[in-house]
């Protein structure tokens, strides 16, 4: 038989009503045993499987979780692996859509997930997103949503993230303890919350060391290697250039490293460098780059578990619920002037 077999095919071949076949397949007690046996035997012979879409519409759930991410870099890929593992453990499948840091694509992805009748949505906002009406629509429809990694205070939805303030503090404190005096920060896009929090850690570390921040050394750039490269070239062209740089992502840090090399400077003697995310790339370059590690897999898994709990116990988890994971600084040659600081 061509195409997918339906209960109409079984009913027609056995000369039974659709309702009788449906009840027989559900093992309803009011069906004659001989009729049930005939239906089940033919269903097996025809390789009949129930329509997942039909069941989803009837049960008002698809057992699918929608995920919107700004990109599929190493860090977010690890988060998605964690999401997928938690989903699989609870019998859900995952639909992942990436915005490529584009507000327009994030808008289209949100619409697509709503049309796909997913049971809940995990979202990490793009660097371009400044208006959140499309994500507010998810909440208006009472569809469970959890923000992870990148979030917005405008959205009344639970958040799972790392302690970005602490991570920024660890990176900057380390540079201060290594004797660097003029520390610049490549702080990412101005509107992005994680950049603001990592920059707060940068300021807190200066304050703790009774140091003043030179605001000329605070720069903003896109989350790209190219942007990190050009922004660092500008910093290194200053009359009083920085002697250390804290980049709030490793992609930005690698761009900064290329600019430092182009200027003929040596790390860590002439200039120190610390990144954020601890991606594999920073361990492979020379010198290896110090970086703040975030538990990406665990973050994704926790976010998915929280969403599933919210889906299954709707309304129980508060809107302002936050889960915050710790970061850890890995110190490598790019910033290590004093070997005694290796234990930080």
The CATH number covering residue 306 comes to: 3.40.50.2300
Indicate whether 271 and 319 sit together in one domain.
no
pTM of this prediction?
0.80
Residue 300: inside a domain: yes
Q: Of how many residues is the chain composed?
A: 344
What is the model's pLDDT at position 341? 54
**Which H or E run includes 306?**
helix 296-312
What is the model's pLDDT at position 60? 56
Indicate whether 306 and 332 sit together in one domain.
no
pLDDT along the chain (344 residues), means of 10: 75 89 80 89 82 53 90 94 95 94 96 91 95 94 95 94 98 97 96 94 98 96 96 97 97 98 97 97 96 97 96 82 97 87 50
Indicate whether 87 and 120 sit together in one domain.
yes
Residue 307: inside a domain: yes
What is the model's pLDDT at position 186? 98
What is the model's pLDDT at position 344? 45
Residue 2: inside a domain: no
Helix (H, G, I), strand (E, B) or coil at 115: helix
Sheet order of strands, 218-219 included: 218-219, 183-186, 244-247, 272-277, 290-293, 328-330
Contact predicate 217/244, CB 8 Å? no
Residue 196: inside a domain: yes
- In 88-201, DSSP assigns E strands to 93-98, 120-123, 145-148, 159-162, 183-186
Relative to beta strand 159-162, strand 183-186 is: unpaired
The CATH number of residue 25's host domain is 1.10.260.40
Indicate whether 257 and 272 sit together in one domain.
yes
Contact predicate 223/188, CB 8 Å? yes
The widest CA-to-CA distance across the chain, in whole angstroms, is 93
Cα dist. 2→6, 50, 176 in Å?
11, 16, 72
> What residues make up the domain containing 221?
164-294+328-343
Indicate whether 214 and 184 sit together in one domain.
yes
Indicate whether 39 and 65 sit together in one domain.
no
Residue 55: inside a domain: no
**Which H or E run includes 247?**
strand 244-247
Indicate whether 128 and 213 sit together in one domain.
no
Residue 203: inside a domain: yes
> Smallest Cα–Cα separation from 278: which of 339, 327, 227, 333?
327
Indicate whether 122 and 43 sit together in one domain.
no
Indicate whether 171 and 288 sit together in one domain.
yes
* Number of domains, the chain: 3
What is the model's pLDDT at position 61? 66
> Smallest Cα–Cα separation from 71: which of 116, 125, 118?
125
Indicate whether 181 and 193 sit together in one domain.
yes
**Which H or E run includes 137?**
helix 133-140
- In the chain, DSSP assigns E strands to 64-69, 93-98, 120-123, 145-148, 159-162, 183-186, 218-219, 244-247, 272-277, 290-293, 322-325, 328-330
Residue 146: inside a domain: yes
Give me Rg for the CA atoms of the chain. Answer: 27
Q: Which residues pair with 290 in a beta bridge?
A: 274
Residue 262: inside a domain: yes
Indicate whether 74 and 157 sit together in one domain.
yes
What is the model's pLDDT at position 262? 97
Indicate whether 321 and 333 sit together in one domain.
no
């Amino acid at each position: 038989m061509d195409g997918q077999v339906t209960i109409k095919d079984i009913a027609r071949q056995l000369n039974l009503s659709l309702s009788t076949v449906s009840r027989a397949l559900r093992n309803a007690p009011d069906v004659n045993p001989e009729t049930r046996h005939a239906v089940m035997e033919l269903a097996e012979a025809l390789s009949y499987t129930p329509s997942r879409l039909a069941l989803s519409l009837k049960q008002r759930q698809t057992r699918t979780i929608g995920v919107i991410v700004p990109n599929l870099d190493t860090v977010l890929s690890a988060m998605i692996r964690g999401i997928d593992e938690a989903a699989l453990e609870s019998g859900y499948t995952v639909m992942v859509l990436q915005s490529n840091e584009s507000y327009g694509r994030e808008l289209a992805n949100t619409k697509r997930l709503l049309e796909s009748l997913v049971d809940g949505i995990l979202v990490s906002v793009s660097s371009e997103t400044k208006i959140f009406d499309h994500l507010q629509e998810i909440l208006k429809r009472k569809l469970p949503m959890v923000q992870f990694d990148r979030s917005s205070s405008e959205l009344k939805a639970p958040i799972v993230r790392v302690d970005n303030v602490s991570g920024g503090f660890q990176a900057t404190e380390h540079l201060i303890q290594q004797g660097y005096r003029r520390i610049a920060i490549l702080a990412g896009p101005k509107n992005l919350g994680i950049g603001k929090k990592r920059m707060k850690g940068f300021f807190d570390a200066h304050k703790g060391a009774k140091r003043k921040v030179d605001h000329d050394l605070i720069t903003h750039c896109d989350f790209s290697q190219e942007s990190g490269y050009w922004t660092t070239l500008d910093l290194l062209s200053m009359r009083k250039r920085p002697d250390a740089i804290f980049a709030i992502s490793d992609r930005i840090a690698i761009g900064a490293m290329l600019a430092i090399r182009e200027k003929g400077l040596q790390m860590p003697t002439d200039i120190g460098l610390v990144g954020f995310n601890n991606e594999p790339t920073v361990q492979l370059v020379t010198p290896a780059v110090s970086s703040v590690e975030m538990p990406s897999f665990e973050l994704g898994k926790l976010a998915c578990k929280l969403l599933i709990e919210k889906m299954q116990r709707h309304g129980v988890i508060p809107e302002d619920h936050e889960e915050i994971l710790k970061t850890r600084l890995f110190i490598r040659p790019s910033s290590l002037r004093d070997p005694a600081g290796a234990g930080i």
